[in-house]
Chains A and B, each alone.
Chain A
Amino acid sequence: MATDGLHENETLASLKSEAESLKGKLEEERAKLHDVELHQVAERVEALGQFVMKTRRTLKGHGNKVLCMDWCKDKRRIVSSSQDGKVIVWDSFTTNKEHAVTMPCTWVMACAYAPSGCAIACGGLDNKCSVYPLTFDKNENMAAKKKSVAMHTNYLSACSFTNSDMQILTASGDGTCALWDVESGQLLQSFHGHGADVLCLDLAPSETGNTFVSGGCDKKAMVWDMRSGQCVQAFETHESDINSVRYYPSGDAFASGSDDATCRLYDLRADREVAIYSKESIIFGASSVDFSLSGRLLFAGYNDYTINVWDVLKGSRVSILFGHENRVSTLRVSPDGTAFCSGSWDHTLRAQPQALLLEVALPGLEPSDRPGPSAPVNLRGCARPTCKTTCSGIKMGPVSQKLPKPAFQSTLFK
């Protein structure tokens, strides 16, 4: 990018005002084709019945706040990272720990599982992204094989492998995203355009597989072309930092969760925000969002220790899940959609290690709950929580009984 001085007719002020006027024109253009709201279209759709979601597994073993997690393509393994620098790979079905690495830095805010399942990537306050190949060989120290892939000038906030193990996409607090080659550590493409820290990113599930979306502290969500490094679309309707972005399963839209306590849905073809998921009683920011497989449900974890489940089409809240004792920092739906996993900052009063709660919905659509096809019920504004976290000894509400101390010792755990 050339940083020449100003051209003849430009001044900083004139550029600024030009940008503003263009923004205004863009809004006008976008509004022209907006003929109907989502909830109007969704009136035809049947309302969802009650959902019963129970915690099925609690993964305990982190000594500190859980900051990030990712699923493996085999639908049962998970990698998670925490504030004290520990990154653990679990088989969440059996709740065994399979690998553990201690990073040399604290606040490991980003971790990702490679598509092949043979490596993990993580990074945080060390400004780097490191890739660790997973090995079951007891004689090898995983940390010895570490590959330092990305170099940023500020903390790493998110990372993700692209379609293969060879490339990795990172987002950083220095306001840029970058695409790296894992083998050589070479920078393949960098993406500039955010005015502040970039906090999250997600790859598009599209046919040509060339775009991704990122959200940042400048309240903007930007869609990038990976090949050219250009910003293709930008959306600026949030009122505060965007903590998390996730594509709708079809790839035509994405949702974002932000510190302004709302989640919003942006459509890429219509080029505008199409829905806001918010409620007056929700006053804490959303830290992470994810869609269910069909895109009908949006799971959002909030800083008020709860998870809200939204009906994407109708815009109403389907259910609220309690169970965490501190803010929910990360939430992902499993690759086959059978469950979702949420990680949190919670400390119990016995100074117990952090817990990851895995929650699964039992299909609780009783026939009696379903309204008849002639009378669609609008569930807006009033949703009843149906969480019964009675599994694994976790009790919700005023926590009186403490969980037994964990005794997991996988034989592979170094």
Chain B
Amino acid sequence: MERMVVSMQDPDQGVKMRSQRLLITVIPHAVTGNDVMEWLIHKYCITEEEALHLGTLLVRHGYLYPLRDPCHLELRLDETPYRFQTPYFWMSTLWPAAELDYAIYLAKKNIRKWGGLFDHEKEHYDQLHRKISHTWDLVVMQAREQLWAAKQRRKGDRLVIACQEQTYWLVNRPPPGVPSVLEQGPERNSCTAGRVQKTKTVDFYRREVECLRKALGRARVKSSVCLEAYLKFSSQRGPHDPIMSGCLPSNPWVTDNDTYWAMNAPSAAVPTRLRVEQWAFSFRELLEDPVGRAHFMDFLRKEFSAENLSFWEACEELRHGGQAQVPALVDAVYQQFLAPGAARWVNIDSRTMERTLVGLGRPHRHVLDDAQLHIYMLMKKDSYPRFLKSDLYKDLLAEAVVPPETKRRVFPFMRKLRHSSPSPALLPASASREPSGGDGEA
């Protein structure tokens, strides 16, 4: 942010500055809200809205302060004069806004004008008075000194300094209800300080070196190939992306009509055309869609190779299942698919089979990975292309539904009732209760 502010103050290219008249005193080097906006728009080629937003942020963070009425930090698009805050007071200098300083500031304000403190400031004042009552004399003395020193200056300077200070404290001690711009998330990197030089240990570097060596040996693909792939992917998926191309019958969020979800539910009887087309994009998409997977299974049954898909599914269950079930599952899979003479024996090449059988001695969740990959590739290279060319698939495409677009409502303010859907959490147990909050909120 500071870079921006510095460039704004650049005498040649910065925001137009001029001396402003404020009541009777003349303040040099002031800018108006309009000027700031124009400069931002011009320099960064952004719109008014964005420039206003950016300007407001600059003011809220205390880099710019209004000379008139500095109790609200916002950028106004009129002739209100603003000035740039001195670097001394910038947020990034990070010296903590000390209690003592705040007390002095409040005391000064109090002395200058009795009853001039806002409510929250009065509260703070009392609190501080209680907390540092032992040095209260110091506080009051300091306040008086500073006020006296300020009286020696010209009225213009006095005003400016007062505004600067006020802005600084507005940023650091925001009034209630105004969000503090200084808030950050939980502290990061706190652990590296605590741990004794962990990042610098031999271990860390050794690991890094190893990782780098491996990385050097990687096979890389030409950029042009990869980038072309993105183009192809995006153009292929464009019509399927609701944000890019809309969705039929209508986007549920826009029209409050959730037919779209009903039609594309995981267990829909008749899939939509787009959905069926998507199965042709890649094998993974086909398997990920329950309806697609079911149809593929039917197809495989006709080809007498359904055990491949069942085996793959069983392996997936093993890989992603609970740790406790691993031995039992491995055993079950072996009995059903791999043992010689098994009921649904899968055809794996001998080398993989040997490796797998050895691994079965100590079952762990990844022991069937090789076999699973082999079968997956088999299905992908062989059965999947045949599926796409098959009559089964062609029929599916022909029967697939293309939902008509719902007509736009004539009265857009009439809202349809938004129906709640049963929570997936209810499905396993036979739901005795349904979520009863059926109607939507305005």
Contacts and interface: CB of A to CB of B under 8 A. Distances in A.
Contacts of A182: 322
Nearest to A119: B425
Interface of chain B, main secondary structure: helix
Interface in B397-442: 418-421, 423-428, 431, 433, 435-441
Contacts of A362: 246, 251, 254
B205 A96 contact: no
Contact of A250 (B45, B233, B283): B233
A403 interface: no
B49 A385 contact: yes
Contacts of B207: 1, 192-193
B17 to A, nearest CB: 21
A33 interface: yes
B54 A241 contact: no
B307 interface: no
B226 A181 contact: no
Contact of A294 (B203, B233, B425): B233
A91 B222 contact: no
A135 B425 contact: yes
A167 interface: yes
Given A41-B228, A118-B428, A136-B426, A197 B188 contact: yes
A297 interface: yes
Nearest to A384: B47
Contacts of A6: 202
Contact of B215 (A181, A234, A336, A351): A234
**Size bracket, chain B contacts:** 35 or more
A140 interface: no
A94 interface: yes
B243 A136 contact: no
Contacts of B199: 195-196, 218
A300 to B, nearest CB: 15
Contact of B231 (A94, A162, A195, A313): A313
Contacts of B319: 163, 209
Nearest to A95: B441
A218 B53 CA distance: 31
A239 interface: no
B212 A26 contact: yes
A66 interface: no
A145 interface: no
A200 interface: no
A98 B316 CA distance: 31
A117 interface: yes
Interface string A311-333: 01100000010100110000001
Interface string A282-295: 01100000001111
A271 B437 contact: no
Given A15-B209, A249-B237, A279-B44, A26 B215 contact: yes
A336 B264 contact: yes
Interface stretch (B114-122, B151-159, B177-185, B388-396): B177-185
Nearest to A406: B441
Nearest to B241: A294
B211 A234 contact: yes
Nearest to B373: A208
A163 B288 CA distance: 11
Interface in B356-377: 365-366, 369, 373, 376
Given A76-B261, A270-B226, A181 B322 contact: yes
Given A41-B227, A42-B231, A296-B238, A30 B220 contact: yes
Contacts of A35: 222-224
A188 B52 CA distance: 51
A238 to B, nearest CB: 15
A76 B421 contact: yes
B200 interface: yes
B53 A183 contact: no
B253 A358 contact: yes
A312 B45 CA distance: 20
Nearest to B217: A29
Contact of B437 (A16, A41, A241, A412): A412
B190 interface: yes
Contacts of A5: 202
B234 A381 contact: no
Contacts of A336: 242, 261, 264
Nearest to A75: B261
A106 to B, nearest CB: 9
Interface string A382-414: 101100000000000110000000011011100
Contacts of A162: 320
Interface string B233-267: 11111101111111100011110001011001000
B178 A312 contact: no
B119 to A, nearest CB: 15
Interface of B: 1, 3-4, 40, 43-47, 49-50, 52-54, 56-57, 74, 177-179, 183, 185-186, 188-192, 198-209, 211-216, 218, 220-231, 233-238, 240-247, 251-254, 258, 260-261, 264, 283-284, 316, 319-324, 365-366, 369, 373, 376, 418-421, 423-428, 431, 433, 435-441
13 contacts: A36-B227, A41-B224, A56-B254, A76-B421, A134-B423, A233-B218, A241-B188, A269-B226, A293-B237, A295-B230, A322-B53, A337-B243, A410-B437
- What are the nearest 5 A-B pairs in CB distance? A117-B424, A294-B237, A294-B241, A281-B44, A164-B320
Interface of A: 1-3, 5-6, 10, 12, 15-16, 18-19, 22-23, 25-26, 29-30, 33-38, 41-42, 44-45, 51, 56-57, 72-77, 91, 93-96, 98, 107, 109, 116-119, 125, 133-136, 153-155, 162-164, 166-167, 173-175, 181-184, 186, 188, 192-193, 195-197, 199, 205-209, 217-218, 227, 230-231, 233-234, 241, 248-250, 252-253, 267, 269-272, 274, 279-281, 283-284, 292-297, 304-306, 312-313, 320, 322, 325-326, 333, 336-340, 345-347, 349-351, 358, 360-363, 381-382, 384-385, 397-398, 407-408, 410-412
Given A166-B320, A195-B204, 20 more contacts: A45-B231, A73-B424, A117-B425, A119-B425, A136-B435, A153-B191, A154-B191, A173-B190, A174-B191, A193-B207, A227-B366, A230-B214, A270-B220, A270-B222, A281-B50, A292-B244, A296-B234, A320-B50, A363-B246, A397-B52
